[in-house]
Amino acid sequence: MLYNTIMFASVHNWLRGHRAGRHPRPRPERGSGPLVAAREVTVERGGRTILDRVSMAVHAGEAAMIIGPNGAGKTSLLRVLMGLWQPDGGHVERVADLRVGYMPQRLQIEPVLPLSVYRFLRMRQRLPRRELLARLERVGVGHLIDSPIQSLSGGETQRVLLARALLGEPDLLVLDEPAQGVDVVGQGDVFVMLDDIRRESGCGVLIVSHDLHFVMAGAETVICLNQHVCCTGNPEEVSQHPEYRRLFPSVDLRGLAVYTHNHNHVHGLHGEVRPLDGAPEDSAGACDDPKHGPGCRH
């Protein structure tokens, strides 16, 4: 079995989107309405309610992240949003011809299957080698193009899966636990890379993650899910919400990358400071806020 779930293959079939020969269309722009939206979605399985009247949306250029405990329905919500499951109540709205790139949690390959990274990517889309190499270089693993995919480390595999998700130049990038199996330094690299991809391409990004540090550092919008939407908003708002505190009582919020001061730059996982879109380059620097360090210019 090549993929660890039929979801991986099904997404390939349903969300091919950017087929060879298809006339290119303009990418949806930020502020033009949601790329995908759940409206009062309810899902039941085996007499149990998995999702209860869930409403949420992802827009072009937005970084939205879904958090919640095990069994909260996070993966089920992804399946509904991507059309793999039909809801028992409510509905899902998508923009016409939505191109979606999907990155699963993990990939299992039969050990005896001789499959290089190049051949693995060609299974998704038969692009010329130079274009596949460019996608791999975009995520920092161009040197692995001829490596057996079974020989890759966890972090390398995640980057190859991300390169695969980017093949169709998606309008919406959907990632299920993209930092899984990646060390702390690697998680920071993933966050910065996803942020760069989103800003350069204008695509929406929807991530499911249990890593609260990753979520709070990388999200514009956080959706806290536990069968229903417990709370939603920016990271600061969600981190202060009673439902969030009830679900994650042992988490020291002061240790998360939630920043309450207002200025024209953003903070990465490792303390780097970057200007916001439209801000002058010299607006980024170290931070005056006592929580972050000296030198922040508001």
Can you tell me whether residue 24 is helix, strand or coil? coil
Whether 274 and 176 map to the same domain: the answer is no
Q: Are residues 57 and 83 in the same domain?
A: yes
Provide the CATH number for the domain around residue 229.
Answer: 3.40.50.300
Which residue range(s) make up the domain with 247? 6-14+31-108+170-258
Which of 134, 202, 189 is closest to 163 using CA atoms?
Answer: 134
- What pLDDT was estimated at residue 182? 72
Alpha-carbon distances, residue 143 vs 1, 117, 169, 193, 252 (angstroms):
27, 10, 22, 17, 39
> Residue 31's pLDDT is what?
60
Residue 5 or residue 76, greater confidence: 76
* Most trustworthy range by pLDDT among 97-111, 132-146, 151-165: 132-146
Mean pLDDT along residues 222-248: 91
pLDDT at residue 47 above 60? yes
Percent of the chain with pLDDT over 70: 71
d(CA 152, CA 154): 7
Mean pLDDT over the full length of the chain: 78
Q: Are residues 204 and 297 in the same domain?
A: no
pLDDT-based confidence at residue 225 (cuts at 50, 70, 90): very high
226 shares a domain with 268: no
| 101 shares its domain with 200 | yes
User: Are residue 195 and residue 101 in the same domain, yes or no?
Assistant: yes
Domain count, the chain: 2
Asked whether residue 266 carries a pLDDT value surpassing 60, the answer given is no
Q: Is the pLDDT of residue 272 over 60?
A: no
Q: Return the bridge partners of 49, or none.
A: 44
Q: Do 184 and 96 lie in a common domain?
A: yes
180 & 295 share domain: no
Instruction: Output 137 or 289, whichever has higher pLDDT.
Output: 137
Confidence of residue 27 (pLDDT cuts 50, 70, 90): low
Residue 135 CA, chain-centre distance (Å), reads 17
DSSP annotation of 76 reads: H
Are 67 and 213 in contact by the 8 Å Cβ rule? The answer is: no
User: Does a structural domain hold residue 275?
Assistant: yes
The candidate with the shortest Cα–Cα distance to 65, out of 232, 292, 245, is 232
Query: CA 33, CA 62: separation in Å to the nearest integer?
Result: 11
Same domain? For 281 and 254 the reply is no
pTM here is 0.75
Is the pLDDT at 87 greater than 80? The verdict is yes
Q: How many CA atoms lie within 13 A of 28 on its CB side?
A: 24
Return the sign of the alpha-carbon dihedral for residues 107, 113, 116, 120: negative
Residues 6 or more apart in contact with residue 278 via CB below 8 angstroms: none
96 lies in the same domain as 181: yes
Mean pLDDT on 208-217: 75
How do residues 30-43 score in pLDDT, each as one tens digit?
667 899 999 999 99
Same domain, 186 and 238: yes
User: Which 3-state string (H, E, C) describes 187-201?
Assistant: HHHHHHHHHHHHHHH
The reported pLDDT for the residue numbered 5 is 35
Residue 8 CA from chain centroid, whole number? 15
Same domain? For 94 and 38 the reply is yes
pLDDT-derived band of residue 160, with 50, 70 and 90 as boundaries? Answer: very high
